[in-house]
Amino acid sequence: MKNKNISIIGVPSDYGQRRRGVDMGPSAMRYAGVVERLEVLGYDVRDEGDIQVKRDNLIIEQNNKLLNLNDIIKISSELGNIIENVINSDRFPLVLGGDHSIAIGTLSGLANKYKNLGVIWYDAHADLNTPDTTPSGNIHGMPLAISLGIGDDGLTHIRGYAPKIKPENIIIIGARSVDPGEKELIKQLGIKVYSMHEIDRLGMTRVMEESIAYLKDKQVDGVHLSLDLDALDPLYTPGVGTPVPGGITYRESHLAMEMLEEADIITSAEFVEVNPILDERNKTANTAVALMGSLFGEKLI
């Protein structure tokens, strides 16, 4: 990474879904040694602390098919402001979640800086649902669609504008649980997807080579990595809220991070959906931090 200054922002929000515990994800990753691991690699790491998330709303708010809408708008707006400030301070934003709805805020802050932002969505899910297609009402299944300007106006227009990203600048890696409405949107918008079929067939090396070349060909001015720990097989990341069998392996994920580091294209990152309540001895958080190590230049030898 060219930028040796990293700012860590914790977003302890579980409002994007129904399972409690993912709000403790930032603490679990800190406990797993993220700051120390990156400092050993020569980075100046500044822990900016956590966004304040109110905890009195213990009952999931039923709002048609947008659960906890107002809370998520507030959190996303605050996170977007923080991300923009971090970038303006010439620091690399590293966001620790929290469920994947926090990406709405992350991308809203990045889009002011990067006018042609590339996005690598490393996830078992496409997160392209809308209020019309969602089977659950969980907003953590909508952040990519929202960032494309599709969905509730209160979410799509966070920080006053939409869309935040372009469909041709997105690459989804690891998809294996995609809802019918999401499949239609992928086809309609021409979003590039490497499902587990392509990863199995081509191998992770070729998938990453093609992904990196694709984004460079689009002449993006920055690349955001949004990594959901459920992209990996539950064997390696048991502490996630929506595990899907048949995922990416631990070693394949390290290879992907190593290749991104070698390409030197990542300008921001977030690691989400670590749920310590569902975990085994902090295994998922440890995996997340190990992957961060590879992303920021840690070598086996």
Report the C-alpha gap between 269 and 157 in whole angstroms.
22
Q: Which of 2, 161, 184 is nearest to 84 (CA)?
A: 161
Q: Annotate the chain with three-state secondary structure.
A: CCCCEEEEEEECCCCCCCCCCHHHHHHHHHHCCHHHHHHHCCCEEEEEEECCCCCCCCCCCCCCCCCCHHHHHHHHHHHHHHHHHHHHCCCEEEEEECCHHHHHHHHHHHCCCCCCEEEEEECCECCCCCCCCCCCCCHHHCHHHHHCCCCCHHHHCHHHCCCCCCHHHEEEEEECECCHHHHHHHHHHCCEEEEHHHHHHHCHHHHHHHHHHHHHHCCCCEEEEEEEHHHECCCCCCCCCCCCCCCECHHHHHHHHHHHHHHCCEEEEEEECCCHHHCCCCHHHHHHHHHHHHHCCCCCC
Q: What is the distance between the alpha carbons of residues 104 and 113, in angstroms, rounded to a whole number?
A: 15
CA 271 to chain centre: 5
Burial class (CB in 10 A: 0-12, 13-18, 19+), 183: middle
Query: CA-to-CA distance for 143 and 32, rounded, in angstroms?
Result: 27
The residues assigned a catalytic role are 100, 123, 125, 127, 140, 228, 230, 273
